[in-house]
Amino acid sequence: MTAEEQANYIEWTPQRGTAALAELDPADLTDEELLNFIQATERQAAWSMARQAAAINEFATRRPPVLGEEPSAKHPDRSRYAAAELMAMFAIGSGAAEHLITDAELLIQHLPDTFAQFNDGSLDIRRVRAVIRGCENTPPQILHELETEFLNYAMSCNPNALTRKVRGIAERHNPEPIEQRHRRARTSRDVWISPLPDGMAYLGARLPATEAALLFNSLEDWAKAAKSNGDDSHGFTPTGRPSRSLGEYRADVLMDLLHQVLLHNSSGSHPEQSSAEQSDQAHSNRAQQCGPYFKNRIPAVLNITVSADRLLGTSADPATLEGFGPIPIDDEKELAATAKFWRRFLTDPDSGRIVSVGRKTRKPPKAMAREVRFRDPVCTGIGCDRPARSCELDHTTPYHKFAYTDDGVILPLGETSIENLRPRCPYCHHVKDDPHTGWTVESVSPGVTRTVTPTGRVYLQTQGDMAPPF
């Protein structure tokens, strides 16, 4: 700093930073002052997030295992239900809430120097998350020794590059051979799907690195070949080239491969055809079957909702794909024409609701279960977003277990009905039903449940798309 800057220097504190930012209007600042203002807000945010991490870690330490619980091997002193309160407060899933706890624990207990810089605002949340990603699957007891090797340049490093550097440092110091860790990590292989706007979705996979790279490089090579050959395209650009980008070609090649594997056996015939049909069509379809493009749909069940008015052409409302949201009506029409593995739900154009069906059995019939999952497409645990198709169906008012009012009056047992059933993932189901967790969930009016957490917080939830009771 210059002598003048040193003379006017005031040491930063969270209180001074807040006061200074509150007094300034960004519209009155020069470009250079705006950048300084942005930097100052980032420092304030880092301090605030660090304080939150300290509080989350403290909260988790106050949640020992409840009676009868088998805590995880990594956290034997902490209840696996500790994350449930954070789920409810932030309205996030159990995985996200558990990440908040484990990240806070890692920072406070095993990365004290990183946390210290985070707490004084000199290390922002992006770099802190990059450090945490780089430390994944590294014995926590060695992490503090590694901090001096990356903290000096952490703030000036791109977050992704910082993750790679921290991961490389951790790899050199990890006492467990990578072969052993890889064998264990392979058990986390998975494929998942997430909805995107405009009728799109994100399909992801967790695979061994060599297999993932091999698959991607193959898709890349096939896509480049298809693009150079000018194969089928959505149209042409003003210069006359096919309009599909390389990324579109990669996606189309992947779908072609899946269609071929799932819909065609090694002889090139369709798995649903009889032997006679295969013989009759073998010659005429041989060229099409051996080609790289297949128009058939993947044989999975899709639930599509479309109003009767839309089918009659008197409404412009889009069709809805269960668990994802609106899709173009043209996609719905294409499914109707080409796919056997889908269900269409017609809804009342006035109410938009399906008439419920009541049964006096604990296990709901398939039609009822399908309707409950249609109404609530995700887990109804507070904050959870797990798809209903992978959830259990929970009786809000217990079917077998008696409940009591505050003055000891026995409440009627719950029925297996559309009203009383809600999808809950195993975690949220256990939080609700285990009497030792301290959670209570009850119906207070048609379509509305009241949840009270162990700390006394109260949450009201509405069922499906009904209007909230506020």
Q: What is the pLDDT of residues 200-210, one digit of tens each?
A: 899 999 988 87
Could you tell me if 363 and 424 lie in one domain?
yes
Task: Give the model's confidence band at 349: pLDDT under 50 very low, under 70 low, under 90 confident, else very high.
Answer: low
Greater model confidence, 221 or 453: 453
Q: Is residue 352 part of a domain?
A: no
Determine the structural domain holding residue 171 and report its residue range. 3-185
The verdict on 449 and 334 lying in the same domain is no
Q: What is the pLDDT of residues 230-266, one digit of tens each?
A: 655 555 555 555 567 778 888 888 888 887 777 655 4
Same domain, residue pair 151 and 12 = yes
Pair (164, 199) in one structural domain: no
Six-digit token string for 51:
């304080």
What is the rounded (10 degree) CA torsion for 113, 117, 120, 122? 170
This prediction has a pTM of 0.69
Contact 152, 70 (CB under 8 A): no
Report d(CA 162, CA 124) in Å as an integer. 13
Q: What is the DSSP letter of 64?
A: P
299 pLDDT above the threshold of 70: no
Max mean pLDDT range (110-119, 149-158, 405-414): 110-119
Q: Tell me the C-alpha distance between 212 and 205, whole Å.
A: 9
Residue whose pair of structure tokens reads 């409940």 in the numeric block:
403
- The DSSP output letter for 123 is S
The Cα 446–Cα 5 span in angstroms is 66
Per-residue H/E/C for 184-207: HHHHHCEEEEEEECCCEEEEEEEC
30 and 171 both lie in a single domain = yes
Decide if 468 is inside a domain.
Answer: no
In the chain, what is the straight-line distance between the N-terminal and C-terminal CA atoms, in Å?
56
Query: What gap in Å lies between CA 66 and CA 230, rounded to an integer?
Result: 64
> Does 388 lie in the same domain as 339?
no
Domain count, the chain: 4
